[in-house]
Amino acid sequence: AKGMGRNNFQTYVAVPEESHQQRLALESKLRLAERNGELRAYYQPQVSSQTEDIIGMEALIRWEHPELGMISPGFFIPLAEDTGLIVSIGEWMLRTALADTKRWHDRFNLPLRISVNLSALQLKQPNLKDVVERAVRDTGLDAKHVELEVTESINVKGIPNLIETLQSLRDMGCSIAIDDFGTGQSSLDYIRRFPADRIKIDQVFVRNIGVDPDDEAIVRATINMSQQLNRGVIAEGVEYEEHLRFLRDHGCEELQGYLFCRPLPAASFENLLAEREKL
Ligand code: C2E
Ligand code: CA
Ligand code: CA
Ligand code: CA
């Protein structure tokens, strides 16, 4: 069924044990990365569990350093968060992802949803709503196609007015997804009040489908809870047919993972959409 570029493997450079010096050096390189055009937006499809049609895509950032090679976001995003660079990098990512999505809407006439990750520091910026509004206006993409992913592991109390901020983004037409669900500390009461449209089951649970009955129980319970609370639900890290079957059979609507496709550069993602259009 698949074949959406499963072999698009990506290797990252091994970043050496960091000394203070190396960290400073990397920080100054990161400062220039945006200006030098070294950042890339990659896209990973999110598919319907029923039809395997592409419903949308998550935008995932990559840093292609001319000498160091491809640097993993797992490595440089924390650095960008510590240094505050994530605010401008995040805005670049948002604008790039919305512009690419608008182009695909126009070319393929598909109502694709774009999911963009937001960091805690972005959520603390008083002008976040303006930034999103401007990106929507400048690209011409309808806000109803824009989803913002907020990880459950953020320190909620450290972000003043978080709920109001998220609600204002929803009022604009955007949707909100809780990323990495199940890995944070949220109480059920908090989840009930959290203005989220979708719950994203973390890959640590998905990975253990077929392996650990306790994790399977957590996955089932999360799907049921999402349905009961009228939220959408998506699973990430879907790698095997067994994961797909389990998730589909238990009512998880949407899936994302290497089984369907790795994150692709914009041009490859566009080719994928073009191929699918011919089917
Ligand atoms: P995340 O938001 O939880 O993104 C999902 C990660 O899982 C991505 O790693 C994706 O490539 C990977 N993945 C997708 N399918 C599979 C699968 O089937 N199996 C496995 N093992 N992994 C899969 P990636 O791209 O390396 O990103 C790592 C993290 O970096 C993201 O985790 C997110 O927290 C952060 N990140 C990436 N792009 C951005 C961005 O633009 N802004 C912010 N703030 N954070 C970002
Ligand atoms: Ca995410
Ligand atoms: Ca995630
Ligand atoms: Ca994660």
pLDDT digits (tens, 9 = 90+) for 75-109: 999 999 999 999 999 999 999 999 999 999 999 99
Whether pLDDT at 147 is above 50 = yes
> Which DSSP symbol is given to 85?
T
Q: Which ligand is nearest to the CA of 58?
A: 2
Q: In this predicted structure, what is the pLDDT of residue 96?
A: 98
Which residue's CA is the closest to the ligand 1 atom numbered 4?
Answer: 60
- Taking the centre of ligand 3 as the mean of its atom positions, its distance from the CA of residue 21, in whole angstroms, is 31
Residue 68: is its pLDDT beyond 80?
yes
What's the angle, vertex CA 252, arms to CA 249 and CA 257, rounded to 5? 105
**Averaged over 110-126, what is the pLDDT?**
97
Q: Whose CA is nearest to atom 7 of ligand 1?
A: 237
- pLDDT per residue as tens digits for the range 23-37: 888 899 999 999 999
Q: Do 39 and 89 contact (CB within 8 A), yes or no?
A: yes
pLDDT beyond 80 at 12: no
Tell me, what's the ipTM? 0.98
Residue 15 has pLDDT above 80, yes or no: no
- pLDDT of 3 above 60: no
Ligand 1 pocket mutation, candidates 236, 243, 262, criterion most atoms within 8 A of CB: 236
Residue nearest to atom 14 of ligand 1 (CA): 257
- Most informative mutation of 34, 42, 57, 60 for ligand 1 (most atoms within 8 A of CB): 60
pLDDT at 63 over 70: yes
Confidence of residue 277 (pLDDT cuts 50, 70, 90): confident
- CB–CB of 200/181 below 8 Å? yes
Indicate whether 6 pLDDT > 60. Answer: no
What pLDDT does residue 21 have?
84
Q: What is the pLDDT of residue 1?
A: 44
Q: Which atom of ligand 1 is nearest to the CA of 263?
A: 11
Q: Whose CA is nearest to atom 19 of ligand 1?
A: 237
Tell me, in angstroms, the distance from the centre of ligand 3 to residue 204's CA. Answer: 10
* 8 pLDDT higher than 60: no
Q: How far is the CA of 86 from the centre of ligand 2 (A)?
A: 15
The reply to whether ligand 1 has any atom less than 6 angstroms from the CB of 119 is yes
- Average of per-residue pLDDT across 234-256: 98
* Residue 7 pLDDT greater than 60, yes or no: no
Q: Which residues of 179-198 are buried (b: 16+ CB within 10 A; e: fewer)?
A: bbbbebebeeeebeebbbbb
**Nearest-5° Cα angle at 62, 60 to 66:** 170
What pLDDT was estimated at residue 18?
67
Please give the average per-residue pLDDT across 109-121, as a whole number: 97
Q: pTM (2 decimals)?
A: 0.94
Q: Work out the mean pLDDT of the chain and round it to a whole number.
A: 93
